[in-house]
Chains A and B, each alone.
Chain A
Amino acid sequence: MNLLSRSLFTLSLLCLGLACSEKKKMGAAATSANAVVDPVGKAGVNYPKLFCENAPKIKVRSDISEELALLCNNKQPTQEFIDLRAEALSSTPGQIDVRFLRKIQTEADDGADFMLGWVFHVPVRPFIVKGRPLYDYIAQGHQGEKVKFNVTTEKLPDSTLEPGGLHLWSVEMNYSLAVQALPTLALANVRKTQYNLWQVLSGNEELGIAIEHLTESPGDIYKASSLVSISFNDGDGFNDGRGGTVVINYLKFKFTNQGFPQTAEQTMMEIAKALANHMYNGLKE
């Protein structure tokens, strides 16, 4: 059993009263004190460290402090970060382990608070990854048996980008979700987000961060939604065309489950898997 699996099995499930919560780390840090894997690759660059030193300096448009805290501590990569990189590098291509990092649902207010995560490795380098239209991959939507979502996108003009040259694109995303909660009736909602991509460090083509955040939720169904994807060279290259890319993803949703907690949990997992596959398939070659 690999380190990740061990950690997932040993982390505790907390169920208190009517609220059921589950909190996990994505990497193996919780149970693998001696699992340090050297994050410095052939090119001699410690990308996780570079990321942690520079990502907090970027002027992003939403709060990503939770994600950064999982990966970085005092400008140093956490064991979680190192483990996730190692997991991505050792993973079977196309086999993406999407898992819940947080599951909190409260009966009294139909509240749902989920965090999911997944990692993957693709053989193309970050410079190419950054040039790919991630938003178009996501816009393929999903047509599952019970869960369907459609996405339309609108790329915003360059004039809306933050100055400084690190902000590479900004896209408005319109989601329409339908969940067949009953054979005769679907839970349906819409939301708008803004999806932005930044290069983390000027002059370094090998580090990127894509951040999607909620901008509009008619009916106040969603309190928050975000997708944070960091990408960095797998260590084999540095601005020289070599190496592949490690991508670490965190997806968060806070919303009202409308009294359907099991359905909400299943739906979140299905959405996350769809996003993970769309991203991987778009970037894998």
Chain B
Amino acid sequence: MQSVIRICFALSILSIVPACQKKKLSNTPEMGVAAKSEAAIKEADSGVSSPNTKGLAVGPEKEAFMCEQGEVVIRQIEKTNFLDLFHLLCDNKGTTQRFKDLVASAYDGKNEAKVTLISSASDEMFNTRLIVGFAMKAPLGDPAQFFALKAHDVLLNGLRSNRSEMIAKVESRKTFPGRRSIEEIIINYSLSKSEGGALFDTRRTEFNTYLLDEARTDVTISLEEMLDVEKSKSYSGFRGIVLGLQAANNETYLVFLNDMFIKNRIDPLRLQRTLLALNGEMQRVMFPLFTKAK
């Protein structure tokens, strides 16, 4: 049996096993299709996060504004395929407990850079979907500064953790591309190593940051979406949300959710560990940039 798995793994890496991709994940919606209820996402305990707080991050007014206007903006820019992810952080009452939990364990440069596994599902054909979340408490006056710092550029140096490696290269930047976006960044990610094993996973994404009100830079939402999905041999999709929320004392919370739908993996747990580790490393790599800006 083990030798069969090894062969399938090798074949899948080479992407010559189309039969392995025929069956969809039974409990996972199609990527890009809107409105999946939060309850439908199966919780998974990653063991890397154990926050517990009932408090708000910055106060009810700002969080209510973020949640109400965030949904309005997502609908206005016709990105409703992000609403299910957005609703993991915001519901009609305001920020969710998950949002509060992520904020409570936000990385501030001194504590542990935690990553919460929100959902994990795989099928027998080794298609894996992972939703992970984390937050940073950055020394930034407001979240609009996040893009001004060209934060994604630091990923070019690579993320290395737990014998895994990923490099992201910014392909282009366009300021004010329209539809409320203040910046559109095209990013090429290359996941080249997973716990020592070589991979060839690449994805190309478009990352846009939006103000929720033209006159306010204290609350932002960024949406990242995979491009050329149909051409990818590694991913069936990728979506990311970053909610930016100005806090007191010249600090800003950045709350991330990443939803990855990866093809052709023989060992979902290994992949899961890799992505958790790399998302944690991303926080550690990015944080000095914020400190320097301060």
A260 and B214: CB pair below 8 A? yes
Is B177 on the interface with A (CB-CB < 8 A)? yes
Cα-based distance from A30 to B148 in the complex (angstroms): 48
Is B192 on the interface with A (CB-CB < 8 A)? no
Cα-based distance from A110 to B179 in the complex (angstroms): 6
**Number of A interface residues, CB 8 Å?**
16
Is A261 on the interface with B (CB-CB < 8 A)? yes
Which residue of B76, B176, B181, B215 contacts A187 across the interface (Cβ within 8 Å)?
B176
**Number of B interface residues, CB 8 Å?**
17
Contact with B along A178-200 (1 / 0, CB 8 A): 00011111010000000000000
Is B217 on the interface with A (CB-CB < 8 A)? yes
Is B182 on the interface with A (CB-CB < 8 A)? yes
Chain A residues whose CB sits within 8 angstroms of the CB of B215 once the complex forms: 262
Is B178 on the interface with A (CB-CB < 8 A)? yes
Cα-based distance from A184 to B144 in the complex (angstroms): 8
Is B175 on the interface with A (CB-CB < 8 A)? yes
B177 and A258: CB pair below 8 A? yes
B176 and A259: CB pair below 8 A? yes
Is A245 on the interface with B (CB-CB < 8 A)? no
Assess A258 versus B214: contact at CB under 8 Å? Given A107-B76, A185-B148. no
Contact with B along A17-33 (1 / 0, CB 8 A): 01000000000000000
Cα-based distance from A263 to B214 in the complex (angstroms): 7
Cα-based distance from A256 to B176 in the complex (angstroms): 11
Contact with A along B196-221 (1 / 0, CB 8 A): 00000000000000010011010000
Give 9 A-B pairs besides A184-B144, A187-B175 with Cβ atoms closer than 8 angstroms: A18-B76, A107-B76, A110-B179, A181-B182, A182-B144, A258-B178, A259-B179, A259-B181, A260-B180
Chain B interface residues (CB < 8 Å from chain A): 76, 144-145, 148, 175-183, 211, 214-215, 217
Give 10 nearest A-B pairs by CB, closest first. Answer: A184-B148, A259-B180, A258-B176, A262-B214, A110-B178, A259-B179, A259-B178, A258-B178, A187-B176, A260-B214
